[in-house]
Amino acid sequence: MEIFLDGADLDDIVRHKDLIDGVTTNPSVLSRHKSSEHRSIIEEICSIVTGPVSMEVNSEKYADMLEEGRRISKIHSSICVKLPCTFDGFRCCRALSVDGVPTNLTLCFSAAQAMLAAKCGATYVSPFLGRLDDAGHSGLSMLEEIVEIFSVQDYETKVLAASVRNLQHVIGAAIIGADAITMPATVLKQCFDHPLTAAGLEIFARDYSLCDTSQTRH
Ligand code: E4P
């Protein structure tokens, strides 16, 4: 399962670059920076990580979306153009995939949307687990359906678990067989930080520091 960092904080990306296969951004995380800086931030992210970097279009209408998607795709060879799971987004996905531009179909909340993303040649489709949970449904159940359909139908599009809020989402996505997951730095930290690991290290360090003293004593 590919692991992406979800966000545009350069310090987070530099800190975690050895653990991740790429980065996903969205208009909300980029809005924390001035719009004039978005392109340079994305360029900087592409220079830090070797894998795909998803950047989303802001246009909603097909022609504008296609023009914006093509423009975004030229920023760097690592760019994956993020498009919404809407009628215009699916059409734009089809057009960009014909051009060979990698795409990530975002804001996916149903297996039917994921299926259309695959039919339109998306590179990735991003089912939003956390936001579907927030709406009173099960994000992991949707993910399970999508992974099952993609296996039965032999779709090439990769399933990218997104809107990940906790370790249950991470472990669930891995068990279900998602191809990729994107998580904020807070959740990635929970993947490697464990209180028992920290406590065990403290015990080992304390025992080791006593080692020479105790050998002298015996
Ligand atoms: C990633 O591609 C999405 O933009 C992101 O996972 C959304 O996460 P959120 O629902 O926590 O904002």
Provide the CB-side half-sphere exposure for 66 (13 A, CA). Answer: 14
pLDDT at residue 29 tops 70: yes
- Would residue 210 count as lying in a domain? no
Q: Where are the beta strands (DSSP E) in the chain?
A: 2-6, 22-24, 53-56, 79-84, 103-108, 124-127, 158-161, 180-183
CA distance 173 to 160: 9
Q: Is 131 near ligand 1, meaning CB less than 6 Å away?
A: yes
- Would residue 206 count as lying in a domain? no
Place of tokens 């099952």: 148
Place of tokens 């990635």: 188
Q: Is 103 near ligand 1, meaning CB less than 6 Å away?
A: no
pLDDT value for 155: 98
Residues 63-81: what's their mean pLDDT? 98
- Would residue 161 count as lying in a domain? yes
- Would residue 213 count as lying in a domain? no
Decide: pTM greater than 0.85. Answer: yes
- For position 183, which CATH number holds? 3.20.20.70
pLDDT value for 216: 57
* Residue of 142, 163, 165 to mutate, ligand 1, most atoms within 8 A of C-beta: 163
- Would residue 28 count as lying in a domain? yes
- Catalogue the active-site residues: 82
- Would residue 198 count as lying in a domain? no
Residues 11-31: what's their mean pLDDT? 97
Q: What is the span of the domain harbouring residue 9?
A: 2-193
Residues 132-145: what's their mean pLDDT? 98
CA distance 212 to 21: 43
Name the percent of the chain lying above pLDDT 70.
97
Provide the CB-side half-sphere exposure for 97 (13 A, CA). Answer: 21
pLDDT at residue 217 tops 60: no
Q: Render pLDDT for 39-66 as a digit per residue (tens, 0 to 9).
A: 999 999 999 999 999 999 999 999 999 9
Please identify, by atom number, the ligand 1 atom nearest to the C-alpha of residue 183: 6
Residues 7-12: what's their mean pLDDT? 97
Q: Is 128 near ligand 1, meaning CB less than 6 Å away?
A: yes
Q: Render pLDDT for 119-136 as a digit per residue (tens, 0 to 9).
A: 999 999 999 999 999 999
- Would residue 111 count as lying in a domain? yes
Name the percent of the chain lying above pLDDT 90.
96
Nearest Cα neighbor of 66 from 90, 86, 96, 39 is: 96
pLDDT value for 72: 97
CA distance 104 to 123: 6
Q: Render pLDDT for 94-123 as a digit per residue (tens, 0 to 9).
A: 999 999 999 999 999 999 999 999 999 999
- Would residue 89 count as lying in a domain? yes
Contact 182, 5 (CB under 8 A): yes
Residues 158-181: what's their mean pLDDT? 98
Contact 123, 104 (CB under 8 A): yes
Binning pLDDT at 50, 70 and 90, where does residue 211 land?
confident
Q: How many domains does the chain have?
A: 1
